[in-house]
């Protein structure tokens, strides 16, 4: 009953917030609606001459009342800018143009210019808010409460008050409030808020869980490992919100251009008004002032200063929806210039998890058993020994499923740098590398010398019994990644790895990578990338796991971190974070960057092209204030609609 009341209260709260938002939206549009109605009625009265008394002061007052709701905020903004030392702004241009139109008796045109400018601003704000909302909706998955175990019960508290090491409960459908480790046996989670992937993600006890994930099945318990402010979702959200502060070179150029361009336009308009007096026989001040006002309206840089940032907003939002986080618009631009991709191996194109690739037993190891049974018994000897080891390769071997007798090892000790020695089933067993076999006078077949993968050799009672090869698995999209990167026009793909060179070369050959080098320390990778950057016309993107590759991520032109889901180093160091842990998303990031840049330059070309034509027409008297409105507000509308396309695009 209590739960139902709580749900009902939440529902009412949501309904009231929706109504409040609708009322606020209506109030925002009310001034423009009022001015529009007044303008249309005024024009209709003028056209049909319905009221003879609609002349003189009556007409002036009518259009002034129509002008104030949309004009006063712009004039006020222009005045505030002037007080702050920013004299030549778009608000200043609109104010001069419309007040000038009133001064020469062109009242409907003055109202129309300001009305359509105001509508353009409303449309721009709606589009920007939508673009920001797309980013925030994907990432702002911060829960409102955390159920913390205190005094024998789970108590609801603010997540920001939860300390490291506390136990929390997460019910079905709720968001995990903080990063931690799973205490329950298993959990099914929706990690879309972090990775962009909506498919369920199943984890087991002691595995990491991340704030913002949604619990899909059963009540689970989690032990927190980070404070709320340090959780992955909080830091990623902060990063994306701050991304808009990192402007692209194009945005910065347009802003600087507008600061120079606007005063030039004002002085040209003054010249267009006054200079003809010295060159034209029948000079009429009102006519040339009207042309200058048209010139001012057309030349307003609204389309540029609105649509370009909106284009980058759209690009950042589209990337976020695809599980790719850019730390700023500048990196969207940088991705379009990349022509050399350098990638790590382990954790980037491979899963970073060792698996048994092949089991080979000597023909006479167990002659009384079939081949399958012989392999099982061989693995039981090996697994009994590896149970005493903590090496990563031992973990891979112990995942082998063997049915039959459960052998136990005794008297096991480690031979440093070589392997293990012990007793299994009353037999002496050696497990390790060839050096261990040689030191114990065990003859090993020469075929083992040419094996590239990591190899574990087994000898029983002083005789070679067989070996297993261990290899890291390629990610499912590894081949697709290289293919897509090449299709994106990348000229050179290089692999640098800390793994041994023979394995690195094999993976590079398998994936058709141009050049590879293994056995590298982090500083060696850094040196290789810096060498590449010294080559002319080379823009380098490095893609790594974001943990031991921090120096290279920082030094490359574009640093791309894989698996940023739980890596603090990735979030801090990389320029781009691929949250889904899929390297193929890099190619999609390039596509999104190029689409963004293409739309931005389309808008720049559109704005300059249309405005240039109408500026000439206005200066020679062939364009009226109505055409000026189209050239300014119309181009802004078209540019905004073009920028919004990014939010609807799909990339494959």
pLDDT in tens, 438-497: 999 988 888 888 887 788 999 998 889 899 988 878 888 899 999 999 998 898 999 998
pLDDT for the residue 17: 45
User: Alpha carbon of 235 to those of 78, 139, 142, 157, 433: distances in Å?
Assistant: 37, 10, 11, 21, 44
Q: Is the pTM of this model over 0.75?
A: no
pLDDT for the residue 66: 94
pLDDT for the residue 8: 47
pLDDT for the residue 10: 45
CA distance linking residue 192 with residue 211, whole number of Å: 11
pLDDT for the residue 19: 46
CA-based nearest residue to 66, from 39, 30, 40, 46: 39
pLDDT for the residue 339: 93
Structure confidence by residue, pLDDT tens digits, 595-615: 999 998 998 888 888 888 887
Structure confidence by residue, pLDDT tens digits, 292-311: 888 887 777 776 777 777 78
Question: Could you tell me if 571 and 564 are in contact, meaning their C-beta atoms sit under 8 angstroms apart?
Answer: yes
pLDDT for the residue 41: 92
CA-based nearest residue to 64, from 115, 111, 116, 118: 111
Domain 352-473 sits in CATH at: 3.40.1110.10
CA distance linking residue 75 with residue 605, whole number of Å: 29
Structure confidence by residue, pLDDT tens digits, 142-189: 567 889 988 888 888 888 888 999 999 999 888 888 889 999 988 888
Q: Residue written as tokens 């058993």?
A: 369
Structure confidence by residue, pLDDT tens digits, 320-342: 778 888 888 888 888 999 999 99
Specify whether domain 146-240 bears CATH 2.70.150.10.
yes
pLDDT for the residue 4: 45
What residues does 350 pair with on adjacent strands? 346, 474
pLDDT for the residue 301: 74
Mean local confidence (pLDDT), 33-55: 87
Question: Could you tell me if 312 and 329 are in contact, meaning their C-beta atoms sit under 8 angstroms apart?
Answer: yes
Point out the least confidently predicted range of 47-61, 111-125, 371-385: 111-125
CA-based nearest residue to 559, from 551, 495, 504: 551
For residue 200, pLDDT over 60 is answered with yes
Q: What percent of the chain has pLDDT over 70?
A: 83
* Average pLDDT of the chain to the nearest whole number: 81
Q: Let me know if 333 is a catalytic residue.
A: no
Specify whether domain 324-351+475-595 bears CATH 3.40.50.2300.
no
Point out the least confidently predicted range of 239-253, 269-283, 465-479, 619-633: 239-253
Catalytic residue among 144, 206, 281, 344: 344
Structure tokens at 15: 């309904």
pLDDT band at 124 (very low <50, low <70, confident <90, very high): low
CA-based nearest residue to 88, from 291, 276, 267: 267
Give the strands of the sheet with 558-562, arranged side by side: 324-326, 576-578, 558-562, 540-544, 340-343, 492-496, 515-517
CA-based nearest residue to 560, from 530, 533, 540, 532: 540
CA-based nearest residue to 176, from 188, 165, 185: 188
Indicate the domain borders of the chain: 21-135+266-313+603-648, 146-240, 324-351+475-595, 352-473
pLDDT for the residue 546: 59
Residues constituting the chain:
652
| DSSP state for residue 633 in the 8-state scheme | I
CA-atom Rg of the chain in angstroms: 35
CA distance linking residue 553 with residue 541, whole number of Å: 8
Structure confidence by residue, pLDDT tens digits, 560-609: 988 655 556 666 778 888 877 788 889 999 999 999 999 989 988 888 88
pLDDT band at 542 (very low <50, low <70, confident <90, very high): very high
For residue 11, pLDDT over 60 is answered with no
pLDDT for the residue 548: 66
b or e along 200-217 (b: 16 or more beta carbons within 10 Å of the residue's beta carbon)?
ebebeeeeebbbbbbbee
pLDDT band at 12 (very low <50, low <70, confident <90, very high): very low
CA-based nearest residue to 342, from 491, 506, 523: 491
Where helices occur in 275-301 by DSSP H, the ranges are 285-299
């Amino acid at each position: 009953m209590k739960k139902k009341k709580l749900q009902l209260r939440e529902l009412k709260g949501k309904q009231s917030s929706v109504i409040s938002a609708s009322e606020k939206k209506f109030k925002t549009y009310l001034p423009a609606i009022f001015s529009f109605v007044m303008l249309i009625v005024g024009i209709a009265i003028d056209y049909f001459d319905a009221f003879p008394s609609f002349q003189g002061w009556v007409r002036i007052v009518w259009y002034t009342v129509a002008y104030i709701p949309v004009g006063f905020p712009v004039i006020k903004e222009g005045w505030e800018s002037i007080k702050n030392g920013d004299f030549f702004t778009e608000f200043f241009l609109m104010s001069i143009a419309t007040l000038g139109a009133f001064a020469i008796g062109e009242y409907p045109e003055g109202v129309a210019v300001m009305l359509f400018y105001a509508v353009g601003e409303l449309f721009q704000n709606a589009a920007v808010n939508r673009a920001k909302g797309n980013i925030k909706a994907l990432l702002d998955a911060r829960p409102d409460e955390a159920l913390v175990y205190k005094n024998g019960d789970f108590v609801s508290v603010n997540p920001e008050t939860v300390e490291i090491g506390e136990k929390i409960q997460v019910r079905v459908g709720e968001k995990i409030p903080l990063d931690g480790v799973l205490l329950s046996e298993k959990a099914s989670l929706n990690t879309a808020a972090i990775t962009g992937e909506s498919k369920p993600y199943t984890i087991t006890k002691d595995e990491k869980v991340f704030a913002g994930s949604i619990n899909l099945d059963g009540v689970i318990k989690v032990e927190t490992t980070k404070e709320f402010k340090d959780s992955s979702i909080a830091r990623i959200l902060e990063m994306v919100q701050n991304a808009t502060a990192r402007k692209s070179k194009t945005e910065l150029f347009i802003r600087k251009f507008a600061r120079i361009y606007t005063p030039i336009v004002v002085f040209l308009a003054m010249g267009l008004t006054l200079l003809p007096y010295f060159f034209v026989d029948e000079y009429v001040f009102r006519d040339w002032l009207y042309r200058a006002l048209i010139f001012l309206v057309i030349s307003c840089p609204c389309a540029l200063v609105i649509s370009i940032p909106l284009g980058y907003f759209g690009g950042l939002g589209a990337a976020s929806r695809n599980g790719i986080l850019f730390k700023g618009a500048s990196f969207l631009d940088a991705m379009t210039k990349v022509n050399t991709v350098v990638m790590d191996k382990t954790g980037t194109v491979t899963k970073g998890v060792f698996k048994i690739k092949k089991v080979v037993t000597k023909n006479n190891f167990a002659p009384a058993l079939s081949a399958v049974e012989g392999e099982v018994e061989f693995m039981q000897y090996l697994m009994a020994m590896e149970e005493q080891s903590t090496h990563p390769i031992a973990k891979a071997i112990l995942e082998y499923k063997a049915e039959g007798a459960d052998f136990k090892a005794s008297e096991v000790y480690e031979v440093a740098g070589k392997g293990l020695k012990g007793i299994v089933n009353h037999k002496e067993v050696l497990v390790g590398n060839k050096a261990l076999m040689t030191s114990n006078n065990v003859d090993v077949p020469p075929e083992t010398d040419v094996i590239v993968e990591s190899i574990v050799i087994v000898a029983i009672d002083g005789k070679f019994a067989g070996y297993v090869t261990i290899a890291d698995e390629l990610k499912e999209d590894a081949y697709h990644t290289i293919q897509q990167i090449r299709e994106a026009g990348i000229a050179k793909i290089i692999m640098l790895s800390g793994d041994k060179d023979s394995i690195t070369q094999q993976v590079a050959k398998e994936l058709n990578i141009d050049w590879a080098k293994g056995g590298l320390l982090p500083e060696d990778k850094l040196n290789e990338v810096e060498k590449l950057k010294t080559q002319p016309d080379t823009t380098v993107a490095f893609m790594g796991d974001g943990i031991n590759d921090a120096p290279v991520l920082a030094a490359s032109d574009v640093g791309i971190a894989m698996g940023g889901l739980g890596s603090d180093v990735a979030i801090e160091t990389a320029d781009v974070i691929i949250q889904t842990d899929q390297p193929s998303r890099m190619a999609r990031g390039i596509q999104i960057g190029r689409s963004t840049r293409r739309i931005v330059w389309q808008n720049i070309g559109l704005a300059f092209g249309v405005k240039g034509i109408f500026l000439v027409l206005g200066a020679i008297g062939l364009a009226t204030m109505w055409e000026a409105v189209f050239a300014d507000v119309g181009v802004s509308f078209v540019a905004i609609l073009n920028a919004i396309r990014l939010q609807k695009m799909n990339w494959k």
